[in-house]
Chain A
Amino acid sequence: MMLLKKPLLRVLLFSLLSLLGASAAGIAQKQPQNVQVRIGAILASNKNDEFDSRLKPLEKQLRVLKYRSYRLLKDESQDVPWQGNKVFEIPGGRSLMVAPQEFQDNRIGLKVRLTEGQKPLLDTTVRISNKGNFILGGPPQEGGVLVLSISATAQ
């Protein structure tokens, strides 16, 4: 205990404990159990100037696409285990399979497959920020196009 009376030793001990605490917190953060995947299916068209108020949080991102009208067709969330996958039914007889791959540097690797019936439309692997999203769009839908907002949150 006499050693602890020396300021330098107290400082070193405090620093060491801080680093250990931070490391433990970092390790704890890197072990999420599931990923909550949320899919927003949106109809974008030029039929009118309607903007669905439920899409307010995505407005800035959607305006990039230069359509006049945006309407939310479906919003669905599912918890997906790591290395597992879940299928989301998408309007227009399509389905979206999402499989979380890995979690690193607060970013989530997602394998995404969009199919129409039995026909695959797109296979992609995307790495997004935890709680971030990306937009997948283009397939024709009800006189407009289908736009999907795909977001993921590590849990």
Chain B
Amino acid sequence: MKRVLILGLGNPLLGDEGIGVRVAEELKGLELPDGVVVVEGGTAGLGLIGLMEGYQRVIIVDAADMGHAPGRVVRFTPLEAQFKTAEAPLSLHQIGFGEVLALAEALEVAPAELVIIGIQPSRVERGAGLSPEVEEAIPQIIGIILDELDVG
């Protein structure tokens, strides 16, 4: 039985930044295969390295600035993308997922299979609640995840 982690990242207080957490909440209401764990990773930063330990496959759900139209969903792997990371981050608050992944790889603790589902945000200012474009993308995101899990 494969151990799969679905990690919803983001900050629900910053508009569309919270999409990952919202998706994790939705997934918790669904019946998922054995061995699948859903976690709201929030803004855990370096703590994510510990969270990913012990899983063969990790699916990340997060708002991502990919230069697309708001609400656009892209499923990709780290090899297919280049994260814009800070080379010498000046504070822990700057350690985003790009840095965590780079660190995990350098430490050789990155998961064997990593998939990222990025959602282009419309709005990342203070204030809870998703924009309509991102809200409308939720069924599509869930569909992609269920495909990843080979669920009907």
Question: Is the A/B pair a real complex?
Answer: no
